[in-house]
Amino acid sequence: MIVHVPGVLATGPLTSCRQLLQQADWRDGRGTAGFQSALVKNNLQLPADSEQGLQAAALIDQGLARNPLFMSAALPARIFPKLFNVYGEGQSFGLHVDNAIRYAPGATSGIRTDLSATLFLSEPDSYDGGELVIQDTYGEHAVKLPAGDMVLYPAGSLHRVTPVTRGMRLCSFFWIQSMIRDDGQRGLLFDLDGAIQDAGQQLGAGHGVVVRLTATYHNLLRRWAHP
């Protein structure tokens, strides 16, 4: 399930994020890659303890907490601390898969990466190339979103970032351990939640059909969830 989440960052927080990251000390992105990913990774990344990165991450956390679509699609149990990368001209990230378990700096337990998230911070017309290309059973899907928008996709998907040929691609990326480990079950709950919202608008939140659908949603969540 690939989900476009619009408006994670509004104009004000987005501008603040960009200003913070312009002042940051960027490092070679291969420092945080696994063995296989490091062979195909060519970008710059902020250290996890970057003060500017931590301030920008706090703005993103606020945006995620206010975004009902993110909550519905991800059903997050744990969220990895936000990371930031930048691709300049000629830089790219070849085909790879994200590590199944990620450890935040200083953490004694890891986060299972059920979902990967990429939040775009550069306007799409400010750079050429730099598409996030995600593979699934239906083929390849190229993603290049407006600044402030985010894409969620299964972390087990093979994916890549095409070479940037003009400008600079700035993003935040992170992973989510969902309460619903199985992507198919998570997708069913997401579709059901959307149907409940539509039915509530058309029939009224207190309508018997909406109440029954809501009960089914929560009973499935109760059965499948592993907080």
DSSP per-residue codes, the chain: --EEETTSS-HHHHHHHHHHHHTS--EEGGGGS-HHHHTTEE-EE--TT-HHHHHHHHHHHHHHHT-HHHHHHH-EEEEPPPEEEEE-TT-EEEEE---SEE--TT-SS-EE-SEEEEEE-S-GGG-EE--EEEEETTEEEEE---TT-EEEEETTS-EEEPPEEES-EEEEEEEEEES---HHHHHHHHHHHHHHHHHHHHH-TTSHHHHHHHHHHHHHHHHH---
**Average pLDDT of every residue of the chain:** 95
Q: What is the pLDDT of residue 32?
A: 67
Query: Architecture of domain 3-178 in CATH?
Result: Sandwich (2.60)
Distances (CA, A) of 3 to 26, 49, 82, 164, 212: 29, 29, 19, 23, 26
pTM of the model: 0.94
pLDDT, tens digit, for every residue of 113-126? 999 999 999 999 99
Domain parsing of the chain, residue ranges: 3-178, 183-224
Q: What is the pLDDT of residues 23-76, one digit of tens each?
A: 999 998 876 666 667 789 899 999 999 999 999 999 999 999 999 999 999 999
Q: Does domain 183-224 have CATH number 4.10.860?
A: yes
Distance CA 81, CA 61 (A): 9
pLDDT tens, N- to C-terminus, the chain (227 residues): 999 999 999 999 999 999 999 999 999 887 666 666 778 989 999 999 999 999 999 999 999 999 999 999 999 999 999 999 999 999 999 999 999 999 988 888 999 999 999 999 999 999 999 999 999 999 999 999 999 999 999 999 999 999 999 999 999 999 999 999 999 999 999 999 999 999 999 999 999 999 999 999 999 999 999 87
Cα dihedral 190, 196, 202, 204 in deg (nearest 10): -150
Between the alpha carbon of residue 94 and those of residues 38, 128, 211, 216, 223, the distances in Å are 9, 17, 47, 42, 38
